[in-house]
Amino acid sequence: MMPSERGPRVLREGPDPLLGQVVNGKFRIIEEVAAGGMGKIYRAEQLPLGRVVAVKVLHSRFTDGHEDPAFQKRFFLEASILSRLQHPNIVTVFDYGSIEGVAEEAYFMAMEFLLGETLHKRLKREGPLAPEATIGIMRQIAKGLREAHRQGVVHRDLKPSNVMLVPDESGEETIKILDFGLVKVLRDDSEELTKEGSFLGSPRYMSPEQIAHGRVDLRTDIYSLGVILYQCLCGRTPFEADNAVHILMAHLHTPVPPFRERSPDVAVPEVLAALALRCLDKRPEGRPATMDEVLGGLRQAELELGLSGGGATLTERSMPAGRLPSIPPATDLGALPPTMPQGQPAAPARRPLAIIVGVIALGTLGLAAGIFVESKMTPAPRPAAPATASRPVALGQYRLEIDSEPSGAAVVESGNVLGATPVGVMIDNAAVASAPRRFVLRLPGHQPFEITVGPARDPSVRRVATLAPVTAASVPSPLAAAPAPLAAPPRPPRSDPRPRRPPRSTDPPSGDSDIRLHR
């Protein structure tokens, strides 16, 4: 058939030929509600049920085989996976397939039509969220991802714009996870559905192993969830820059900034800060191994903050925090997290994005090497006694390196989170001679550990804390007041200690947009 004889070109320039049409005799297209570089989303009516649905249509330029042939596979993979992921916190897919009766090949996916706003818009309007609201949102996201992981599926593009907050008749909000377009099926590693020399993702929410093209497993989603938790707590993501490459390199090499550095006027609860920092560990094995462990950490936060925990399941309430039973996803042996008996995935490959990226990485590694050379590796797992008047006072300063077993614990001083272990701190001998400094190490699923330091004559000292797991007897009752850490000052009320401030934009120019980088 000659081009002049062909029917309308789907989604090309000019009037939209789908408006008012019935797709495959089932879905009457009513109006366009969203459009992007890869397709459009319409509000439609499902016949003869009269149900309002959202119809996602793949842009025709991705169906002609010239730009990205694998995109068709990603589209059908997303549709087939979502159609079998039946969970209250994941958007429901009703139907999908090729659009019949059009000149050019096009594809559609019909799913539930959601009225609400994305978490991206909520954070942009309100800024940091209260701890109770943050825990409620994180719990629902984690439950939805847990179901996906049980099916052997990794989202790989988790970000606030892919999280919808849908109010119900009572005013409560249900979280829906959207857009599994970059989904990864762990049990099928025969083929990567990305173009050679490129990758897809959202810079501010990508994990280090995803950036480096290493092995992707469920802990990639845990890292992205950690970025969202960090953003909900202080209103900003850990790493922001005008250049996407700078953000990616920060994920690879830059320590996570302390919350007080990103938002000095926001008080972040220590227990939530510790959970976020653990999820943001650059090493996959340093993060929670499963979403069950994340849910346990959220439950522990509720207990310490004295919250009701109405959204927790009976299992989550009865098990020790951070130690909920794990259900392995249907996946291959090499993709299982390290707590699974089958083994541990290989460390992700660290390949530079470009020559300039390599230069930046070498500079970062050189600085890190200089810091470690200065450190004196003298383990002392027990807290030191405070300095006394009879002890000679050393002059000057020394570097204290605080580490823990296991690593990734939040180091807290006077309510401020300094970072996740290992952490380096400069100690002034004259100051600690009269007032020793106290640091509390917190890690979900483990009991707090306090380190007290006084003067030292060595230029560098290393302290390693062995963190004891939480036992059933050590979990505080929600009806009882949580005991204060050893020698720590009493905590202020936990209702909502954060001062209110005007909403701020959380989206710099490089923002939430997906990227496609070529090597």
CATH number at residue 141: 1.10.510.10
Tell me, what CATH number does 28's domain have?
Answer: 3.30.200.20
What are the pLDDT digits (tens) for 475-516? 554 444 444 444 444 455 544 545 455 444 444 444 455 554
Q: How far is CA 173 from CA 154, 167, 365, 465, in A?
A: 24, 4, 45, 41
Neighbour count for residue 49 (Cβ, 10 Å): 10
**Is residue 505 domain-resident?**
no
* Top-confidence residue, 435 or 349: 435
Q: Give backbone dihedrals phi and psi of 73, rounded to 5 degrees, phi first.
A: -65, -40
Tally of domains in the chain: 3
| 337 and 441 co-located in one domain | no
Instruction: Kindly list the distances between the CA atom of residue 252 and the CA atoms of 185, 212, 344, 362, 519, in Å, as whole numbers in the listed order.
Output: 24, 8, 21, 12, 17
Q: Can you give the pLDDT at residue 397? A: 85
- Whether the predicted pLDDT of 60 surpasses 80: no
| Rg of the chain taking only CA atoms, in angstroms | 25
User: For 205-225, what is each residue's pLDDT tens digit?
Assistant: 999 998 887 678 899 999 999
Same domain, yes or no: 125 and 102:
no
**442 domain-assigned:** yes
Q: 176 with 304, same domain?
A: yes
What token pair was written down for 65? 């085989």
Supply the DSSP symbol for 189: -
The answer to whether residue 168 scores a pLDDT higher than 50 is yes
- Whether residue 243 contacts residue 412, with contact meaning beta carbons closer than 8 Å, is answered with no
| CATH number for the domain that contains residue 398 | 2.60.40
Q: Are residues 61 and 102 in the same domain?
A: yes
Cβ atoms 202, 181 nearer than 8 A:
no
Q: What are phi and psi of 39, to 5 degrees?
A: 165, -170
Q: Above pLDDT 70, what percent of the chain?
A: 64
Residue type present at position 127: G
Q: Is 160 part of a structural domain of the chain?
A: yes
* CB 152 within 8 Å of CB 329: yes
Two tokens at 34?
């969203």
Q: Give me the domain span that covers residue 454.
A: 377-472
- Residues 241, 169 share a domain: yes
- CA dihedral angle for residue 128, residue 130, residue 136, residue 140, rounded to 10 degrees: 0
Cα atoms found within 13 Å of the Cα of residue 426, Cβ hemisphere only: 4
pLDDT at position 97 is 87
pLDDT single digits (tens) 357-407 = 343 333 443 433 333 333 333 344 444 444 444 444 456 888 898 999 888
Across 286-301, average pLDDT = 96
Q: Contact, 150 vs 196, CB < 8 A?
A: no
High-pLDDT (> 90) share of the chain, %: 38
Inter-residue contact 309 to 303 (CB < 8 Å) = yes
- Residues 10, 88, single domain; the answer is yes
- By annotation, the residues acting in catalysis are 157
Do 130 and 92 reside in the same domain of the chain?
Answer: no
Residues 397 and 331 in one domain: no
Look at residue 480 and tell me if it is in a domain. Answer: no
CA distance 233 to 429: 34
The verdict on 107 and 144 lying in the same domain is no
User: Which residues sit opposite 426 in a β-bridge?
Assistant: 399
Tell me if 340 is assigned to some domain: yes
Query: Is 486 contained in some domain?
Result: no
Which of 251-274 are b and which e, b meaning 16 or more Cβ less than 10 Å from the residue's Cβ? bbbebbbbbbebbeebbbbbbbbb
Q: In sequence order, what are the beta bridge partners of 31?
A: 43
**443 vs 359: which has the higher pLDDT:** 443
